[in-house]
Amino acid sequence: MLQGAVAPFPYAGEVASLGAAMAWAIGLTLYRADTRATGARQVNQFKNLIGSWLFLLTALIVGVSPLSIRDQVYLAVSGVLGLAIGDSLLFKALALLGPHRAALSACLAPVFTGVAGWIFLGEALSWEQCAGIPLVVGGVALVLYGYGAEDSVAPLKGMLYGTGFAVCHSAGVLLAKEGMYNAGPLAGSALRLTAAAVALVFFSLGRRDLHAGLRPLLRPRSLKRLLPAVLIGTFAGIWLMQAGIKWAPAAVANTLHSTTPLFTLPIAFLVLRERVGPGAVVGSLVAVGGVALLLGAF
């Protein structure tokens, strides 16, 4: 298993991955309204632009070590795949399915990552970890399908977008894992998000809709939702994600990333005042058991 540095404390990568999942749950809830009203790519572009500025400013203040050309290429490509293309597909799924069912697409990511990590990175998993991964995925699936507020059948188009996100996210995680060999979480996050922002800006310039796409998101009502979403869901979430990728096996980190729906559950019940079905409660218990098995396997 590739490790660029020793973790600062036991289970640091796993704790960071769970923190990322919690941050994304808050971010998805805040991104939902503008994704539906303005567009998935436009919201993702705003998210990447503001987030990259935050990371670059932090890197200038804190200071980071220079990266090799090899690491820069891996991290930049992973950012384009995972944060530009992947997150745009996720936001499309979010607009069509809502945050909870859209998050179901993240459950597919550990499958892709586990197989690819075993083939390309040689990350062998113990039988306990192999048992914990389907428990987490199955529990998250139960949470989503048991969520009482969204009983309609998910449109095929939305699930296809979600599957595309899972593939891009998994590829981004594996490439970032390779590029994080000598890079710290801050430097890796800044480079990935900046590459994603630049890619989307060039794409929008080609479509000649850069200004028109961002203008609705600069209104005060949208900024009240989007700025906290970028700070929590993007800045904190991606930084924690990079720490998880660096200090935990790729399949384990990606599985814990997919627990985001477990954190949307209390948000839905306490903040959005939406009904939660019994399947969601059972799924939460199953998924928590899977997370405990994953952590106990080390």
The pLDDT tens digits of the residues spanning 60-103 come to: 998 888 888 999 999 999 999 999 999 999 999 888 877 777 77
Q: How far is CA 139 from CA 142, 161, 280, 283, in A?
A: 5, 22, 8, 4
Average pLDDT (268-279) is 70
Question: CA 191 to CA 70: how far, in whole Å?
Answer: 13
Query: Where residue 121 falls among pLDDT bands split at 50, 70, 90?
Result: low
In the predicted model, is pLDDT for residue 36 greater than 70?
yes
> What pLDDT does residue 270 have?
74
Residue 29's pLDDT band (cuts 50, 70, 90): confident
- The confidence band for 1, taking pLDDT boundaries of 50, 70 and 90, is very low
At 218 the pLDDT is 93
- State yes or no: pLDDT of 248 exceeds 90: no
Would you state the pLDDT for residue 272?
A: 65
For the chain, percent of residues with pLDDT exceeding 70: 83
Q: How confident is the model at residue 5 (pLDDT cuts 50, 70, 90)?
A: low
Q: In the structure encoding, which two tokens stand for residue 237, read together?
A: 């979430």
Cβ-contact 81, 199 below 8 angstroms:
no
Confidence band (pLDDT; 50, 70, 90) for 298? very low
Run of H or E including 72? helix 69-79
Q: Residue 281 pLDDT more than 80?
A: no
How high is the pLDDT of residue 245?
77
| pLDDT grade for 54, boundaries at 50, 70 and 90 | very high
User: Mean pLDDT throughout 43-59?
Assistant: 93
At 155, the pLDDT band (50, 70, 90 cuts) reads: low
Residue 109 has what DSSP assignment?
Answer: H
Report CA Rg, the chain.
18
Segment 35-50 shows an average pLDDT of: 93
8: pLDDT strictly greater than 60? yes
User: How many CB atoms sit inside 10 A of residue 73's CB?
Assistant: 16
Distances (CA, A) of 55 to 46, 48, 227, 238: 14, 10, 14, 10
In whole angstroms, what is the distance from residue 84 CA to residue 78 CA?
Answer: 9
pLDDT value of residue 150: 47
Put simply, whether the predicted model's pTM sits higher than 0.85 gets the answer no
Spatial contact of 72 and 191, defined as CB atoms under 8 Å apart: yes
DSSP class of residue 2 equals -
**Domain boundaries, given as residue ranges, for the chain:** 12-296
Q: Which one has a higher pLDDT value, 273 or 167? A: 167
Mean pLDDT of 30-48: 92
Select the more confidently predicted residue: 277 or 21: 21
Q: What is the mean pLDDT of residues 174-179?
A: 83
CA distance linking residue 178 with residue 181, whole number of Å:
6
